[in-house]
């Protein structure tokens, strides 16, 4: 708690985190322009104010990264700057905000409202703030979200000096963005839970968050990839059935537009054994199958891939946890392994170790360009 | 006179024969009475400070906010918002407890703004690394146990009923619990927890009972001592507020994202 006190009738609360990180790349880069191992620093603040008996709230979350190698990765963003009002049976959010949709672990297929801040993490979990007007209605038949999305945010890509990028770098200055006449996107989602079932259906109409990357040249003749963001319509389905230690999950999308129709899904389970090894710790097994009818050409590279992971939680005072997993390409010879571990150090900091290891990359595989980019990252977040 | 002796004899025989049933009924009666005295508050909010003490006496603290709403005919709905340690600040858990069915549970992860439905089968696991298991923190619906009246006893000058209760849920970490219920106010002072092997595992002692709304007795402190691990956890409550008009919308899956 940076501070927590009422000022002018508003209850303020804050949090600041400062996280130095270091990434070791295990091999020399593919392209001599690309950097080697290097440090990075992330600063993130959160300020929240509540008034009117908690019926009104403001949130402000600025974010900033200073990267030791890639100028594209050195960037700042307003993750959130919004006002929330809670009425009887409805809520509104106005401003820059973030919305998450989905249930699965290996990829977030249905999640489309916010653009991916890809330079942050190749797992695409970090998102850019999105200007929006969000109305939520609470009814007996479920929860309905209606969203009007303003300014389009382009995806961030590693620069020429950055790692974890295509062999030909993406040139963001050449990007082409197709917009609706109103310069806005529309989205809606219905969600409901009935006993063990959590179900949601969504629809999005607007500019695709996922660009098509087209090979071209700059005016000086350098080969680059040009991001083209087409207008699309995308329908999504999310389902989770929770049966004691078993979580059964499904996400599926159908996308129309951008020159082709496509269907993709991810489904599987998470099974957890509680209190293993005669201790308080839990051991979970995650298995998810990723399908995309575009195959290896899909932007995610997950056309026919099986994700297998083991998650361990110590349930100790330090909240120690570890996830070791692999994404196995079934249709092509390309696998990668992931490692995510963290634990609290002292009262208010958290140490984390992350890794991604690309192995057996064949030429036809979507991750072929990343074959020299295996890395191990260590970071510590200090909270104030 | 002879008839009266007959009746008395018959009654005694019946009592002796059904002593087992009577003890179970008496245990259950006390549990229901304890629940009746505790219920009817509508909703409440409270701040909680948790102090975890390890074998060497080292301490670590957690701060959280509890919101609970009673539901007619079913278990409570409750929200726990974590405030400290700061690395989990804003993490929020929502539980819809049920009388006999497994509870429904969701977790909100503020960094991803993600709401996750989680398994509630982890009844015996530790709550945030403390000596309180999830099942100790959760709503204590009378239907979650079977009962047996044990004895009478005294806890710090308060005459108590001692009742045994046996968890119905096979995921429970306990074979039984012994609850010390004050005879006068029907409030629990102490619970002894026995592990699955039947060994004494932990003791919970409540203290500093305060009266709210001239009707509801709530302890200021709950201390759980784990004999087997040599560790303890102290929970201290503050800022209790009853009947705060919490709505079902305030305890909905969508409301988790507000992260108070």
Write the DSSP string, B161-198.
EEEEEEES-TT-SEEEEEEEEETTT--EEEEEEEETTS
CA distance B104 to chain A (A): 8
pLDDT tens, residue by residue, B194-252: 999 999 999 999 999 999 999 999 999 999 999 999 999 999 999 999 999 898 889 99
Whether residue B17 lies within 8 A of chain A, CB to CB, comes out as no
CB contacts, 8 Å: B253 with chain A: 143, 191, 193
Q: Is A3 part of any domain?
A: no
Whether residue B230 lies within 8 A of chain A, CB to CB, comes out as no
- Taking 90 as the threshold, does the pLDDT of residue A152 lie above it? yes
Q: Is A1 part of any domain?
A: no
- Taking 70 as the threshold, does the pLDDT of residue B10 lie above it? no
Q: Are strands A223-229 and A176-177 parallel, antiparallel or unpaired?
A: parallel
- The count of other CB atoms within 10 Å of the CB of residue A66 is 14
More confident residue, B258 or A73: A73
Q: What is the DSSP string of A50-100?
A: EETTTTEEEEEEEEEEEESS-TTTSEEEEEEEEEEEE-SSEEEEEEEE---
Query: Using CB atoms within 10 A of its CB, is residue A320 exposed (0-12), middle (13-18) or buried (19+)?
Result: middle
Domain total in chain A: 1
Report the share of chain A in percent with pLDDT over 70.
98
Distance of CA A141 to the CA centre of its chain: 29
pLDDT tens, residue by residue, A36-87: 999 999 999 999 999 988 899 999 999 999 999 999 999 999 999 999 999 9
The answer to whether A272 contacts B258, with C-beta atoms less than 8 Å apart, is no
- Taking 90 as the threshold, does the pLDDT of residue A296 lie above it? no
- Which strand (E) or helix (H) includes residue A226? strand A223-229
CA distance A282 to chain B (A): 9
Q: Is B13 part of any domain?
A: no
pLDDT for A104 equals 97
pLDDT for B15 equals 59
pLDDT band at B74 (very low <50, low <70, confident <90, very high): confident
CA distance A307 to chain B (A): 19
pTM of the entire predicted model: 0.91
pLDDT band at A6 (very low <50, low <70, confident <90, very high): confident
Whether residue B113 lies within 8 A of chain A, CB to CB, comes out as yes
- Taking 90 as the threshold, does the pLDDT of residue A4 lie above it? no
8 A C-beta contact, residue A256 and residue A231: no
The answer to whether B117 contacts A381, with C-beta atoms less than 8 Å apart, is no
Nearest by CB to residue B129, choosing from A99, A100, A317, is: A317
DSSP state for residue B126 in the 8-state scheme: B
8 A C-beta contact, residue B52 and residue B84: no
Q: Is A177 helix (H, G, I), strand (E, B) or coil?
A: strand
pLDDT band at A302 (very low <50, low <70, confident <90, very high): confident
pLDDT tens, residue by residue, A186-216: 999 999 999 899 999 999 999 999 999 999 9
- The count of other CB atoms within 10 Å of the CB of residue A211 is 23
Alpha-carbon Rg for chain A in angstroms: 22
pLDDT tens, residue by residue, A115-148: 999 999 988 999 999 999 999 999 999 999 999 9
pLDDT tens, residue by residue, B89-117: 999 999 999 888 888 999 999 989 999 99
Q: Are strands B174-182 and B188-195 parallel, antiparallel or unpaired?
A: antiparallel
pLDDT for B123 equals 86
User: Which structural domain range is residue A313 located in?
Assistant: 9-383
- Taking 70 as the threshold, does the pLDDT of residue B259 lie above it? no
pLDDT band at A285 (very low <50, low <70, confident <90, very high): very high
8 A C-beta contact, residue A296 and residue A289: no
Domain total in chain B: 1
pLDDT for B171 equals 86
Averaged confidence pLDDT in chain B: 90
pLDDT for B138 equals 81
Q: Is B6 part of any domain?
A: no
pLDDT for A7 equals 75
Residue located via tokens 């407890």: B97
Whether residue A191 lies within 8 A of chain B, CB to CB, comes out as yes
8 A C-beta contact, residue B78 and residue B68: yes
Closest chain B residue to the Cα of A15, Cα to Cα: B86
Q: Is A4 part of any domain?
A: no
CATH of the domain at B70: 2.50.20.10
8 A C-beta contact, residue B69 and residue B45: no
| ipTM for this model | 0.92
Which positions ≥6 away from A374 have C-beta within 8 Å?
A25, A26, A27, A355, A356, A357, A358, A359
- Taking 60 as the threshold, does the pLDDT of residue B14 lie above it? no
A/B interface, count of CB pairs below 8 Å: 104
Q: What is the DSSP string of A279-302?
A: SS-EEEEEEEEEEETTGGGSTTS-
User: Which structural domain range is residue B123 located in?
Assistant: 36-257
| Of A111-120, A291-300, B43-52, B117-126, minimum mean pLDDT range | A291-300
CATH of the domain at A45: 2.40.160.100
pLDDT tens, residue by residue, B236-251: 999 999 999 898 889 9
pLDDT band at A294 (very low <50, low <70, confident <90, very high): confident
Q: What's the Cα-to-Cα distance from B160 to each of A261, B51, B151, B163, B186, rounded to whole Å?
A: 71, 28, 9, 9, 9
Cα dihedral sign, A104-A107-A113-A116: positive
Q: Is A252 part of any domain?
A: yes
The answer to whether A275 contacts B85, with C-beta atoms less than 8 Å apart, is no
pLDDT for A1 equals 46
- Taking 90 as the threshold, does the pLDDT of residue A295 lie above it? no
pLDDT tens, residue by residue, A157-194: 999 999 999 999 999 999 999 999 889 999 999 999 99
The answer to whether A1 contacts B89, with C-beta atoms less than 8 Å apart, is yes
pLDDT for A362 equals 76
8 A C-beta contact, residue B52 and residue A317: yes
Which positions ≥6 away from A274 have C-beta within 8 Å?
A245, A282, B121, B122, B124, B125, B171
């Amino acid at each position: 708690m940076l501070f927590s006190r009422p000022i002018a009738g508003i209850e303020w609360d804050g949090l600041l985190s400062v996280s130095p990180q270091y990434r070791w790349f295990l091999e020399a880069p593919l392209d001599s322009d690309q950097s080697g191992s290097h440090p990075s620093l992330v600063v993130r603040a959160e300020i929240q104010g509540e008034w009117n008996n908690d019926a009104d709230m403001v949130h402000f979350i600025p974010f900033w990264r200073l990267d030791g190698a890639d100028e594209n990765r050195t960037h700042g963003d307003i993750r959130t700057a919004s006002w929330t009002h809670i009425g009887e049976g409805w809520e509104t959010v106005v401003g820059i905000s973030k919305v998450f949709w989905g249930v699965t672990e290996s990829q977030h297929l249905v999640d489309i409202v916010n653009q991916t801040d890809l330079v942050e993490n190749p797992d695409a979990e970090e998102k850019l703030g999105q200007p929006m007007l969000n109305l939520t209605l609470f009814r007996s038949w479920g929860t309905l979200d209606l969203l009007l999305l303003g300014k389009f945010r382009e995806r961030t890509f590693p620069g020429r000096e950055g790692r974890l990028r295509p062999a030909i770098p993406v040139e963001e200055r050449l990007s082409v963005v197709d917009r609706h006449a109103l310069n806005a996107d529309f989205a809606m989602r219905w969600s409901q839970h009935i006993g063990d079932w959590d179900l949601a259906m969504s629809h999005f109409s607007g500019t695709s968050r996922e660009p098509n990357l087209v090979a071209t040249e700059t005016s000086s003749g350098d080969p680059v990839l040009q991001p083209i963001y087409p207008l699309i319509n995308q329908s999504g389905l999310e389902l989770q059935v929770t049966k004691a230690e078993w979580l059964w999950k499904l996400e599926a999308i159908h996308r129309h537009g951008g020159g082709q129709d496509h269907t993709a899904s991810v489904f599987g389970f998470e099974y957890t054994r509680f209190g293993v090894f005669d201790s308080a710790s839990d051991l979970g097994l995650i298995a998810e199958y990723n399908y995309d009818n575009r195959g290896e050409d899909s932007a995610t590279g997950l056309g026919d891939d099986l994700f297998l992971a083991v998650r361990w939680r110590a349930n100790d005072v330090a909240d120690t946890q570890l996830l070791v997993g692999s994404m196995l390409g079934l249709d092509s010879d390309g696998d990668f392994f992931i490692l995510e571990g963290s634990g609290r150090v002292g009262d208010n900091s958290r140490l984390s170790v992350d890794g991604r290891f690309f192995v057996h990359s064949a030429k036809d595989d979507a991750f072929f360009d990343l074959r020299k980019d295996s890395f191990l990252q260590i970071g510590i977040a200090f909270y104030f | 006179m002879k008839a009266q002796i007959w009746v008395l004899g018959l009654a005694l025989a019946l009592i002796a024969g059904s002593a087992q049933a009577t003890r179970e009924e008496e245990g259950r009666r006390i549990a229901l009475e304890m629940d009746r005295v505790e219920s009817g508050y509508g909703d409440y909010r409270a701040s909680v400070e948790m102090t975890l003490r390890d074998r060497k006496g080292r301490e670590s603290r957690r701060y959280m906010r509890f919101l609970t709403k009673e539901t007619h005919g079913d278990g409570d709905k409750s929200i726990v918002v974590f405030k400290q340690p700061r690395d989990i600040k804003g993490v929020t858990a929502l539980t819809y407890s049920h009388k006999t069915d497994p509870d429904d549970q969701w977790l909100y992860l503020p960094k991803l703004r993600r709401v996750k439905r989680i398994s509630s089968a982890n009844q015996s696991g530790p709550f945030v690394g403390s000596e309180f298991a999830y099942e100790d923190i959760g709503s204590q619906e009378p239907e979650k146990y079977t009962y047996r009246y044990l004895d009478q006893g005294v806890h710090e000058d308060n005459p108590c009923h001692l009742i045994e209760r046996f968890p119905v849920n096979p995921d429970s970490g306990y074979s039984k619990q012994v609850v010390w219920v004050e005879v006068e106010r029907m409030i629990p002072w102490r619970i002894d927890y026995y592990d699955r092997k039947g060994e004494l595992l932990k003791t919970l002692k409540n203290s500093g009972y305060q009266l709210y709304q001239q009707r509801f007795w709530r302890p200021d402190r709950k201390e759980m001592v784990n004999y087997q691990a040599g560790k303890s956890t102290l929970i201290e409550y503050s800022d209790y507020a009853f009947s705060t008009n919490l709505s079902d919308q305030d305890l909905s899956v969508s409301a988790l994202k507000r992260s108070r």
